[in-house]
Amino acid sequence: MKKIKAQHCRVIQNKQVGKNGDYYSLKFDEFRVSRSIWPGNFLHVKVTDTVDPLFRRAFSVADYDPERGVLEIIYKVVGRGTSILSQKKKGDRIDIIGPLGNRFSSPGRKKTAVLVAGGIGFPPMYFLAKNLVNRGHDKRKILFIYGGRSKTDLIEMQRIRRLGVDLIPCTDDGSYGFKGFVTGALADRIDQLDTAQTFVWGCGPEPMLAALQDMALDIGLIGEISLEAPMPCGVGVCLGCIKATLDNPRKYVRVCYDGPVFKLGEIKI
């Protein structure tokens, strides 16, 4: 296994995004890129200089500006690690390992790209949408379905709109956009899609990914999902992130090393 070095990157921004108060965008520079950075890759972040908390926290790359060497993660404060991260100030140094994990695949420009993001599954889906647009995928063939519990859980909407893709916002409580789950919004639109010419990606909470996978298997949609299992080591050593495969429940994969991106239908969720 290739040795991956930690880097002490400089925080250049750590600001709240959205109206909920729990979401932050953290940008940092002075990151020396050891390999190309692609949508689906993640970073493993040490939130303090001490051993407490011991384990790094994983965050998807939300954006990358190769010219300025600036990387961005977007995160929700859910516990101790993310709460400590939210206190970081411009100029602070953070210890980061990455980019780690595999990447979303490219299905080709002819396909309609359907990106399904739930809650904090938004960052890798945004980076993927931006990457598709930058690589010349027809914007009319990119559908971004973005769901949250309530209106304030939908963040960075202007950023998605600026990409010029077809956006369906959804909220569980109906406070904004389609009322219901992202899979409901996809079911609503499915008649307008040529399923054989469609490729779906999803990232979000596991119940959402399970519903998306069931739906895809039912109607014969192909695609990929990105899993967000807790990851103690992040590099395939500790087996703390394993998941069983769907066709053979005795065969396991390491989400950090074999993923986090897997084919729809590959993993038992």
Ligand X SMILES: Cc1cc2nc3c(=O)[nH]c(=O)nc-3n(C[C@H](O)[C@H](O)[C@H](O)COP(=O)(O)OP(=O)(O)OC[C@H]3O[C@@H](n4cnc5c(N)ncnc54)[C@H](O)[C@@H]3O)c2cc1C
Which residues here bind ligand FES, judged by CB under 6 A?
Answer: 231-234, 236-241, 254, 256-257
- 69-88 residues in contact with ligand X (CB under 6 A) are 73-76, 78-82
228 is a contact residue toward ligand X (CB under 6 A): yes
Q: How far apart are CA 121 and CA 163, in angstroms?
A: 18
For ligand X, the closer CB: 100 or 215? 100
By CB under 6 A, residue 239 contacts ligand X: no
260 binds, among ligand X, ligand FES, none (CB under 5 to 8 A by kind): ligand X
What tokens does 141 get?
A: 């063939």
Query: Whose Cβ is closer to ligand X: residue 141's or residue 254's?
Result: 254
Closest C-alpha to 44, from 206, 205, 224, 236: 236
Q: Does 153 bind ligand X (CB under 6 A)?
A: no
Decide the pairing of beta strands 23-29 and 142-148.
unpaired
- Cβ 76 to ligand X shortest distance, Å: 4
With beta carbons less than 8 A apart as the criterion, state whether 104 and 112 touch. Answer: no
Residue matched to tokens 């002819």: 110
Tokens 């066709």, residue located: 247
27 is a site residue for ligand X (CB under 6 A):
no
Stretch of residues binding ligand X (CB under 6 A), selected from 10-18, 104-112, 147-155, 222-230 = 222-230
Query: Across the beta sheet with 222-226, what order do the strands follow?
Result: 178-179, 166-171, 142-148, 112-118, 198-203, 222-226, 261-263
What part of residues 85-144 is at the interface with ligand X (CB under 6 A)? 120, 123
Nearer to ligand X, 60 or 198 (CB): 60
Q: How far is the CB of 193 from ligand X (least distance, A)?
A: 27
* Residue 13 C-alpha from the chain's centroid: 20
Please say which residue, 57 or 111, places its beta carbon nearer to ligand X: 57
Q: Which residues pair with 102 in a beta bridge?
A: none
* Cβ–Cβ under 8 Å, residues 42 and 102: no
Binding partner of 233, given ligand X, ligand FES, none, CB within 5-8 angstroms per partner class: ligand FES
- Classified as helix, coil or strand, 153 is helix
Residue 21 binds ligand X, judged by CB under 6 A: no
Assess 154 for contact with ligand X (CB under 6 A): no
Say if CB 180 and CB 172 are below 8 A apart: yes
59 binds, among ligand X, ligand FES, none (CB under 5 to 8 A by kind): ligand X
- The residue count for binding ligand X (CB under 6 A) is 21
Other beta carbons within 10 angstroms of residue 55's beta carbon come to 17
Closest CB to ligand X: residue number? 79
Q: Say if residues 269 and 209 touch (Cβ distance below 8 Å).
A: yes
The binding site for ligand X (CB under 6 A) comprises 42, 57-60, 73-76, 78-82, 120, 123, 228-231, 260
